[in-house]
Amino acid sequence: MATFSISRYSLTLAFLVFYFVTLAAKPLSSFSLKKFDKNHSFESEIALFGDAEIVDGGSSVELTRPSISSAGILMYKKPLKFVEGNPRKPISFSTYFSFSISPQNGDGIAFVILPKDSPPKLFDRSSFGISPWLGKRESGVLAVEFDTFMDSKLGDPNGNHVGIDVDSLVSVKVSNVSSINLVLNSGEKLQSWIDYDASSKRIEVRLSKLGTVRPFDPLLSYLIDLSEMWKEEEVLVGLSSSNGNSSQTSIVYSWSFRLRRVPSWMHSQPLDPRVFSDHSKPLTVHDKSVCLLRILTGLLFGIGCGALAASIVYVLWSIFINRRPLVPAEYPVHPVEFAYKTIKVVVEKATKDGKK
Q: Domain ranges in the chain? A: 35-282
H or E segment at 76? strand 71-76
Asked if residue 172 has pLDDT above 90, the reply is yes
- So what's the pLDDT on residue 268? 38
Alpha-carbon span 211 to 275, nearest angstrom: 4
Confidence grade of residue 222 (pLDDT, cut at 50, 70, 90) = very high
**For residue 252, which phi and psi values (nearest 5 degrees)?**
-110, 130
Looking at domain 35-282, which of 2.60.120.10, 3.40.630.40, 3.30.450.20, 2.60.120.200 is its CATH number? 2.60.120.200
Q: Would you state the pLDDT for residue 267? A: 41
- Give one DSSP letter per residue of 174-242, joined into a string: EEEGGGGT--TTSSS-EEEEEEEETTTTEEEEEEEETTSPPPSS-SEEEE--HHHHHTT--EEEEEEEE
Residue 64 above 90 pLDDT? yes
What pLDDT does 32 receive? 86
Burial of 170 (0-12, 13-18, 19+ CB in 10 A): middle
pTM exceeds 0.85 for this model = no
Tens of pLDDT, residue by residue over 264-307, are 444 434 444 443 344 444 434 444 444 455 666 667 777 776 77
Average pLDDT over residues 307-312: 73
Q: What pLDDT is recorded for position 155?
A: 86
Helix/strand/coil for 146: strand
- pLDDT 10s digits, 12-29: 544 444 444 444 444 456
Q: What is the reported pLDDT for 3?
A: 47
pLDDT at 245 over 80: yes
Using CA atoms, how far apart are residues 42 and 88, in angstroms rounded to an integer?
32
Query: In this model, does residue 149 exceed pLDDT 60?
Result: yes
Band (341; pLDDT cuts 50, 70, 90): low
% of the chain surpassing 70 pLDDT: 61
Which residues, 6 or more positions from 303, have their beta carbon under 8 angstroms from its beta carbon? 14
Q: What is the mean pLDDT of residues 320-343?
A: 56
Residue 30 C-alpha from the chain's centroid: 11
Q: Is residue 20 classed as helix, strand or coil in its secondary structure?
A: helix
CB 144 within 8 A of CB 261: no
Residues 60/253, Cβ–Cβ less than 8 Å: yes
Calculate the dihedral angle through the C-alpha atoms of 50, 56, 60, 65, rounding to the nearest 10 degrees.
Answer: -30
Confidence band for 39, pLDDT divided at 50, 70 and 90: low
Interatomic CA distance for residues 302 and 296, integer angstroms: 10
More confident residue, 238 or 316: 238
More confident residue, 320 or 309: 309
Cα–Cα dist 244/126, whole Å: 7
Task: Say which range, 60-69, 207-216, 340-349, has the weakest mean pLDDT.
Answer: 340-349
In 248-341, which ranges are continuous DSSP H helix? 292-316
- Mean pLDDT of the residues in the chain: 76
pLDDT category, 117, cuts 50, 70, 90? Answer: confident
Return the pLDDT at 273: 42
DSSP state of 262: -
Higher pLDDT, 229 or 285: 229
Mean of the pLDDT values across residues 177-202? 95
- Position 318 scores a pLDDT of 66
Tell me: pLDDT of 330 over 60. no
The CA-CA-CA angle for residues 101, 53, 38, to 5°, reads 130
